[in-house]
Amino acid sequence: MSRASMDFATAIGLAAGLLMLAAAMMLGGSMSAFLDLPSALIVIGGTVAVTTVSFSLQDMWRAQSVMLHSLVDRSVPPSVAATNVLRIADRVRKDGLMSLQKVVAQLRAQPFLQRGLGLVVDTFPTAEIERILRQEAQAKQIRHSRSAAVFRKAAEVAPAMGLIGTLLGLVQMLGNLNDPATIGPSMAVALLTTFYGAVLANMVFLPLATKLERRSEAEALLDSIYLFAALSMSRQENPRKLELELNAILPPSERVRIFD
Amino acid sequence: MSRASMDFATAIGLAAGLLMLAAAMMLGGSMSAFLDLPSALIVIGGTVAVTTVSFSLQDMWRAQSVMLHSLVDRSVPPSVAATNVLRIADRVRKDGLMSLQKVVAQLRAQPFLQRGLGLVVDTFPTAEIERILRQEAQAKQIRHSRSAAVFRKAAEVAPAMGLIGTLLGLVQMLGNLNDPATIGPSMAVALLTTFYGAVLANMVFLPLATKLERRSEAEALLDSIYLFAALSMSRQENPRKLELELNAILPPSERVRIFD
Amino acid sequence: MSRASMDFATAIGLAAGLLMLAAAMMLGGSMSAFLDLPSALIVIGGTVAVTTVSFSLQDMWRAQSVMLHSLVDRSVPPSVAATNVLRIADRVRKDGLMSLQKVVAQLRAQPFLQRGLGLVVDTFPTAEIERILRQEAQAKQIRHSRSAAVFRKAAEVAPAMGLIGTLLGLVQMLGNLNDPATIGPSMAVALLTTFYGAVLANMVFLPLATKLERRSEAEALLDSIYLFAALSMSRQENPRKLELELNAILPPSERVRIFD
Amino acid sequence: MSRASMDFATAIGLAAGLLMLAAAMMLGGSMSAFLDLPSALIVIGGTVAVTTVSFSLQDMWRAQSVMLHSLVDRSVPPSVAATNVLRIADRVRKDGLMSLQKVVAQLRAQPFLQRGLGLVVDTFPTAEIERILRQEAQAKQIRHSRSAAVFRKAAEVAPAMGLIGTLLGLVQMLGNLNDPATIGPSMAVALLTTFYGAVLANMVFLPLATKLERRSEAEALLDSIYLFAALSMSRQENPRKLELELNAILPPSERVRIFD
Amino acid sequence: MSRASMDFATAIGLAAGLLMLAAAMMLGGSMSAFLDLPSALIVIGGTVAVTTVSFSLQDMWRAQSVMLHSLVDRSVPPSVAATNVLRIADRVRKDGLMSLQKVVAQLRAQPFLQRGLGLVVDTFPTAEIERILRQEAQAKQIRHSRSAAVFRKAAEVAPAMGLIGTLLGLVQMLGNLNDPATIGPSMAVALLTTFYGAVLANMVFLPLATKLERRSEAEALLDSIYLFAALSMSRQENPRKLELELNAILPPSERVRIFD
C-alpha cells in the first residue's frame, strides 16, 4: 500500500464526515436552521483571533502551508528510501567516496540526505556528522510539532468560543422572557455556536493536528534511515550491515532485502 | 494461569457488558426505543471518518489486524520463554556455537529471538547485537502504540460525535416547539447519539486500546528475555548467570529454576 | 508513628466516608430511595466487565490480592530497615563475609534483601549486583503500578457506566411522557446510576489506587535501602559511610544514628 | 522585595477571596441561605475521609505541618544565601579548611548546607559529596511534592464530593415532587454541596498546593546554591569561580557581586 | 517576515476577538445586559486573589512585566543573530582572541552572548563555558515558564470563579422562586459570571500564556546560537564549521550563508 493512500484518507474522511452531517441536518428539516452568520462569526472569527494571539501570523501561515504541503506531497515510502540509500552505499563501496559527489548533486528532493552525504564527501568525522544531523532532525521535529500545535490550539479554542457564544445567547434570551414562543428558536440559535465549535474542533482541527503529527513521525523515520546511511558510509562499513540496521527500525512490511 | 485466559477475559468482558446493557434496555420497555439509524450513522460513520482523517487507511487496517491477532494468538508465557532460552543457552554452552545454527532455523514462531540468535551465530560483537536488537524492540513498541492510538483516538471521537448529534437534534427540536407532545420523543432521539458515543467509547474502544497496550507490554517483556539470552550467549557466559538475570525481570510467579 | 497507622487510615477513612453518606441519605427520608438493583447491576457489573476487557482475569486477581496484602501486611518502617542493614553491615565488617551466609538464610521476610546479600555472599562483582538488583526493583515497581492501574481504570469506567445508565433511563423516560406524575421518580432512578458511579469512583476506587501507589513508593524506599546496603557490603566499605548514605535518602524523622 | 511578601500574599489572597464571596452572598439576601450543616459534612467530612484513605494519617499530618511551616517560616532569599556561602568560601580560601569546622557548628538553621560543609571538613572525595547531597536534595523534593499531593488530592476530591451531595439531594427531591413550592429550596440546598466543593477546591486546596510547590522550588534553588558551594570548597577552587557559577543559576535580580 | 509581526498579531488578535464579542452583544440588544459589577468583582477579584495565593506578589509582578516586555521588545531574528556571531567569529579568527574584548563591551543588548564571550576572553576551559552557559540558559527558561504559569493558573481559576459565581446566583434565585417573572433575569445574571470566566480564560489569559511560552522558545533558540558561537570561538574552530552547526538548528527560511 503506497503512501498516497494516506492523503486519500484525509480527503475522503473529511468529505464523508461533513456530508454525513449535512445529510442528518436535512433529514430533520432544512439546513437553513443551522446557518446563522453572527454565530459563525463568533466561533470562526474568535478562534482565528485567539489562535493568532497565541502564536504569530508567521506561525499560522507556516502551519497552513505545512498542512497543504503534507496533503499534496507524496513522501517516499520507508522501504524505497532504504533501498535507495543501500544502492548508494553499495556503489560508494565499489567506486569509492568520490563517486558520492555526483550522487549528492542529484538529491535535491531529499535535502536531509543531501546534507548528510555532503558531510560524508567532505570527510567530516563520523561523530560530528551524527551530532549535526541529529540536531537538524530534532530542530525539524520541533518546527513540525509547532505547526501541529497551531491546529491543536484551534481545536481547544473553538469549543470555548462556542460556549462563550451560547452563554451570550442564553443571557440575551433570559433577559427577554416576555414572549414564550421565542424561547425555543432563541435557544436553538444559542446552541448553534456550541454546535459549530464542536464540529470545527472534532471534525476539522483535531484530525488535521493528528495527521500533521503522524506525517512528522513518518518523516522522522526517513531521517533516521538517512542518518544511519550517512554514518555507515562515513565509517566505510559494509552495506550489508547497514541493511541489517535499517531493517531493525523498519516495520516488518517495509523491510528490504537487497544483498544476497 | 496461562496466557489464554487473557483473551477469554476480552470476549467474556465485552459480551457481559453489552448483554447487561441490552437487559437494562428491555427491562425499561423495548429495545426499539434505542435503535435509530440516522443517530447510529452520525456516531459510527463520523467516528470512522474522523479517525481515518487522523491516521491513514493503512494505520486503521493495521490496528484492526493487530487487534484480531492479539485476541486470537496465544503468546508464550514469560516463564516458558525463559525456560526455552535457558535450555538453548545450556546446549550452546555444551555443544558450542555451531549447534545454535540448527536451533535458529526452527524459531520461525519467535522472529525476534531468531534474529537475535542469528546475529550471535554470525559472531557480531555483543555491543552491536544489543544496539540492533534494542532498536528493533523499540521500533516494534512504537508501531504497537500506534495501533493502540487508533482505538484511543476513536474513543475520543465517538463521544464528540455523540455530542454533535445531540446538539443537532436539539437545534432541530427547539426550532419546532409547536407540538409539546413531540418534545419528549425528540429529546429522546437527540440523546441517543450521546448514548451511542458513550457506549462505543467506554465499552468498546477504550478497553480495546488498553488491552492492546497491555499485550504490547507483555511482548516487551518477552523481547527483553530474548535480548538478555542473545547477549548472554554472545558473551559466552554461564547460563546460570542468565537464569539469575531473567529471574530479576520476571514476576515472582513466573520465575524459573532450571539449574541445580 | 508506626506504619500500622497507614492501614488504620484506610479502614477508618473508607468507613467514615460511607457512613457519612448513609447518614445523609437517611436524613433526607429513607435509604430505600437510593437502592435500585438494575442501576447497581449496570454500574458495578459494567465496571467489572469493562475493566476485565482492559486487563486480564490474572491482572484483576493480582490487583485485588496486592490490595488486600498491602492493607493487612505491616511493612517495615524505613528507620527499622536502615538499622537492620547497618547492624548486618557492622557484623560483616567485624566477622567477615562468611558470617553473612547465616544471616541470608534468615531473611525470608525480605526477599529483596535476601537476594541482594546472597549475591554479595557469592562474591558477584559490585556493578553486576547493582544491575541485577536495580532491574528487579524496577520490574517490581512496574508490576505494582499495573495493579494500581486496574483500580485507576475502574475509577475511570465507573462514572462512564453511570452516565450510560442515566442516558439509558432518560431515553426511556422521555419516550413515555404521558403521565407527568412519573417524571420525577423516573428521573430520580435515572440519576441513581450517575450517583453510584461517582461514589464508587471517588470514594472507593481512586483512593485505593492512590494508596497502592503510595505503598509501592514506600517499598521502593526500602528497596533502595537494601540496594545501598548490598553494594556497600560488596565494596567492603565502612558501615559509617553506609549510614551517611542511608540518612541522605531517609526523611529527617526516620534518620538513624547507630555509630559513634 | 523580600521573601516575606510571599507569605503576605497567601494571607491577603485567601482573606480577600473569601471576603469577596461573603460580600456577594450578602448582597443577594442573607448568608444563611448558604449555610447547611449536612451539606458541609458531606463535602468537608467526605474530602477528609477520602484523602485519608488515599494517603495516611502521617502524610496528612505532615502536609498540614509543612504548610503552616512554609507560611510562617522566612526562607533565606537566594541572593543572601549566595552571599553567605561566598563569604564562607572566601574565608576558607584564606584560613584553610580547618576554619570551616567552626562555621559548620553555627549552621543549625541551614541543615543542608551544614551537612554539605561537614562532608567537606571530613575531606570526603568531591564526587561522593555530590552524590550524597544530590540524593538528599532529591529525597527532600520527593517528600515535599508528597505534601503538595495531599492538597492536590483534596482539591480533586472536594468537587467530587460536591457532585455526590448534589446527586443525593436531587434524587431525594425528584422522588418527592408532590409540593411544587419546595422544588426551588430543595434544588438550592442540593446545589450547595457543589458550591462548597468548588469553593474548597479552587479557593483553598489548589492555591495551597501550588504555593507548596513553589516553596519547594525555591528551596531547591537554595539547595543548588549550597551544593555548588560545598563542591567548590571541596575542590578548593577560587571563590570567584563559585560566584560565576552561582550567578548562572540566580535570577538577574538576585545576582551577587562580592569579589573585585 | 520580521519578528515585529508577532507583537502585531497579539494586539490585532486581542482587539479583533473582543470587538467581535462586543458586536455580538449589541446585535442581541444592548451591552448593558452584560454588565454587572458584583459578577465582575467575583470573577476578576477572585481570580486575582486566588492566583496571588498560588504564587507571590513578586511572581505576579514579574509575570506582568515579562509580558509587557515581550509585547514591546523587538527580539533579534535568529538569522540576524547567526550572522552577527559568524561575523564576530570570523573577526576573532583573523585578529585573535584579543579583538574579542572590544566586541564584548558593546554587547549590552545581548547579555547572554556578552557573558559567553566574556568567558571566552578569560580563556575558561570550553567544557566549563558550556556548563555555565547551559545552566544559565536553563535557569532562564525555568523563570520564563514560571511567568507563563501565572497566566496559565489565572486561566484555570477564572472559569472556576465563574462557576462559583453562577452557583451562588442559582442558590439565591432558587431560594426565592415566589415571582416567576424574575426567574429569567436572575438566571441571566447568574450566568454572567460563567460568561466572564470563559471570556477571561480563553480570550485573554490562555493566549497570553501561550504567547509567553512561544517567546521563551524563541529566546531559547537565540541562546543556543550564542552558546554554539561561544564554544566554537573557545575551541578556536573555523567559523565555517560554526555556520554549518548553526544552520542545523535554524529553520530553513532563517539559514545563513556567509562564507564562500
Interface size between D and E, measured as CB pairs under 8 A? 134
Neighbours of chain D (3+ CB pairs under 8 A): C, E
| Interchain touch D–E (≥3 Cβ pairs closer than 8 Å) | yes
What's the CA gap between C153 and C143, in Å, rounded?
A: 15
Whether residue C127 is predicted with pLDDT greater than 70 in this model: the reply is: yes
What's the CA gap between E10 and D157, in Å, rounded?
A: 38
The string of pLDDT tens digits covering residues D67-110 is 777 666 667 889 999 999 999 999 998 988 888 888 898 888 88
Whether residue B5 is predicted with pLDDT greater than 60 in this model: the reply is: no
What's the CA gap between B233 and B88, in Å, rounded?
A: 9
> CB of E190 within 8 A of CB of E169?
yes
Give me the DSSP letters along A40-102. Answer: HIIIIIHHHHHHHHHS-HHHHHHHHHHHHHHHH--PPPHHHHHHHHHHHHHHHHHH-THHHHH
CA angle A180, A186, A188 (to 5 degrees): 120
* B95: three-class secondary structure by DSSP: helix
Q: What is the pLDDT of residue A72?
A: 67
Q: Tell me which chain E residue has its CA closest to the CA of residue A116.
A: E248
* C174: three-class secondary structure by DSSP: helix
Which residues of chain A, if any, have pLDDT below 70?
A: 1-7, 70-74, 260
- Residue A61 carries which side chain, given as an amino acid letter? W
Whether residue E180 is predicted with pLDDT greater than 80 in this model: the reply is: no
E260: chain A residues, CB-CB within 8 Å: none
> CB of D4 within 8 A of CB of D74?
yes
Q: How confident is the model at residue E74 (pLDDT cuts 50, 70, 90)?
A: low
Do B52 and A12 count as a contact with CB atoms less than 8 A apart? yes
* Exposure letters C158-183 (e unless 16+ CB within 10 A, then b): bbbbbbbbbbbbbbbbbbbbeeeeeb
Q: How confident is the model at residue C218 (pLDDT cuts 50, 70, 90)?
A: confident
The string of pLDDT tens digits covering residues C73-106 is 667 889 999 999 999 999 999 998 888 888 898 8
Whether residue E9 is predicted with pLDDT greater than 50 in this model: the reply is: yes
Average pLDDT over residues B55-77: 77
B147: chain A residues, CB-CB within 8 Å: none
Crossing angle of the two packed helices D57-72 and D4-27, in degrees rounded to 10 = 100
Q: Tell me which chain A residue has its CA closest to the CA of residue B128.
A: A245
Neighbours of B77 (CB within 10 A): 16
Q: Which residue has the higher pLDDT, E64 or D210?
A: D210
> CB of B47 within 8 A of CB of B219?
no
Q: What is the pLDDT of residue D58?
A: 78
Q: How confident is the model at residue D32 (pLDDT cuts 50, 70, 90)?
A: confident
Do A198 and B160 count as a contact with CB atoms less than 8 A apart? yes
D63: chain C residues, CB-CB within 8 Å: none
What's the CA gap between A60 and A45, in Å, rounded?
A: 14
Instruction: Kindly give, in sequence order, each residue whose CB lies less than 8 Å from that of residue A15, ignoring residues fewer than 6 positions away.
Output: none
E118–chain A Cβ distance below 8 A for any pair: no
Q: Which of A64, E136, C18 is nearest to D53 (CA)?
A: C18
D33–chain E Cβ distance below 8 A for any pair: yes
Do A163 and E198 count as a contact with CB atoms less than 8 A apart? yes
B151 to chain A nearest CA, in Å? 14
The string of pLDDT tens digits covering residues B138-172 is 988 888 888 889 999 999 999 999 999 999 999 98
Q: What is the pLDDT of residue A258?
A: 86
Please give the share of chain D, as a percent, with pLDDT higher than 90: 41
D25–chain E Cβ distance below 8 A for any pair: yes
Q: What is the pLDDT of residue B2?
A: 41
Q: Whole-angstrom distance between the N-terminal and C-terminal Cα of chain B?
A: 25
User: Which residue matches cell numbers 557492622?
Assistant: C90
What's the CA gap between C54 and C44, in Å, rounded?
A: 15
DSSP code, position D202 = I
E10: chain A residues, CB-CB within 8 Å: 52-53
Neighbours of chain B (3+ CB pairs under 8 A): A, C
B182–chain A Cβ distance below 8 A for any pair: no
Interface size between C and D, measured as CB pairs under 8 A? 135
Average pLDDT over residues C173-179: 80
Q: Which of C156, C167, C23, E176 is nearest to D168 (CA)?
A: C23
B44–chain A Cβ distance below 8 A for any pair: no
Whether residue B3 is predicted with pLDDT greater than 60 in this model: the reply is: no
Instruction: Kindly give, in sequence order, each residue whose CB lies less than 8 Å from that of residue D126, ignoring residues fewer than 6 positions away.
Output: D231, D234, D235
The string of pLDDT tens digits covering residues E13-66 is 888 888 888 888 888 777 788 888 889 989 999 999 999 888 877 788 888 887
Q: How confident is the model at residue B4 (pLDDT cuts 50, 70, 90)?
A: very low
B60 to chain C nearest CA, in Å? 20
D213 to chain C nearest CA, in Å? 18
- The interface residues of chain E toward chain A in range 223-252, judged by CB-CB distance below 8 A, are 244-245, 248-251
C133: chain B residues, CB-CB within 8 Å: 248
C165–chain B Cβ distance below 8 A for any pair: yes
Q: What is the pLDDT of residue C168?
A: 93
ipTM associated with this complex: 0.84
What's the CA gap between C50 and B44, in Å, rounded?
A: 20
Distances (CA, A) of C176 to A22, A137, C59, C222: 30, 62, 43, 61
Positive or negative, the Cα torsion across C159, C161, C167, C170? Answer: negative
What's the CA gap between B11 and C57, in Å, rounded?
A: 12
Facing residue for D24 by CB, picked from E42, E50, E176: E42
* Cα of D124 vs its chain's centroid, Å: 33
Whether residue D139 is predicted with pLDDT greater than 80 in this model: the reply is: yes
Q: What is the pLDDT of residue A67?
A: 74
- Which triple of cell numbers denotes residue C86? 547497618
Neighbours of chain E (3+ CB pairs under 8 A): A, D
C129 to chain D nearest CA, in Å? 19
Q: Tell me which chain D residue has its CA closest to the CA of residue C15.
A: D49
B175–chain C Cβ distance below 8 A for any pair: no
E211: chain A residues, CB-CB within 8 Å: 53-55
Q: How confident is the model at residue B72 (pLDDT cuts 50, 70, 90)?
A: low
Q: Which residue has the higher pLDDT, B179 or D165?
A: D165
Do D28 and E168 count as a contact with CB atoms less than 8 A apart? yes
> CB of E139 within 8 A of CB of D250?
yes
The string of pLDDT tens digits covering residues A46-85 is 999 999 888 877 788 888 887 777 666 667 889 999 999 9
E182–chain D Cβ distance below 8 A for any pair: no
Q: How confident is the model at residue E248 (pLDDT cuts 50, 70, 90)?
A: confident
Q: How confident is the model at residue E5 (pLDDT cuts 50, 70, 90)?
A: very low
What's the CA gap between C216 and C213, in Å, rounded?
A: 5
- Residue A143 carries which side chain, given as an amino acid letter? R
Whether residue B19 is predicted with pLDDT greater than 70 in this model: the reply is: yes
Q: How confident is the model at residue C4 (pLDDT cuts 50, 70, 90)?
A: very low
Average pLDDT over residues C130-151: 89
Do C175 and B245 count as a contact with CB atoms less than 8 A apart? no
Facing residue for B163 by CB, picked from A6, A181, A198: A198
B17–chain C Cβ distance below 8 A for any pair: yes
Q: What is the pLDDT of residue E139?
A: 87
Whether residue E71 is predicted with pLDDT greater than 80 in this model: the reply is: no
User: Which residue matches cell numbers 547507630?
Assistant: C258
Q: Tell me which chain E residue has its CA closest to the CA of residue A171.
A: E188
| Interchain touch D–C (≥3 Cβ pairs closer than 8 Å) | yes
C42–chain B Cβ distance below 8 A for any pair: yes
Q: Which of C133, C153, C139 is nearest to C63 (CA)?
A: C153
What's the CA gap between E79 and A158, in Å, rounded?
A: 34
The string of pLDDT tens digits covering residues B214-260 is 888 888 999 999 999 999 999 999 999 999 889 988 888 888 988 86
Q: Tell me which chain B residue has its CA closest to the CA of residue A194.
A: B167
B144 to chain C nearest CA, in Å? 16
- The interface residues of chain B toward chain C in range 55-94, judged by CB-CB distance below 8 A, are none
CA atoms within 13 A on the CB side of A209: 20
Total-model pTM: 0.88
The mean pLDDT of chain E is: 87
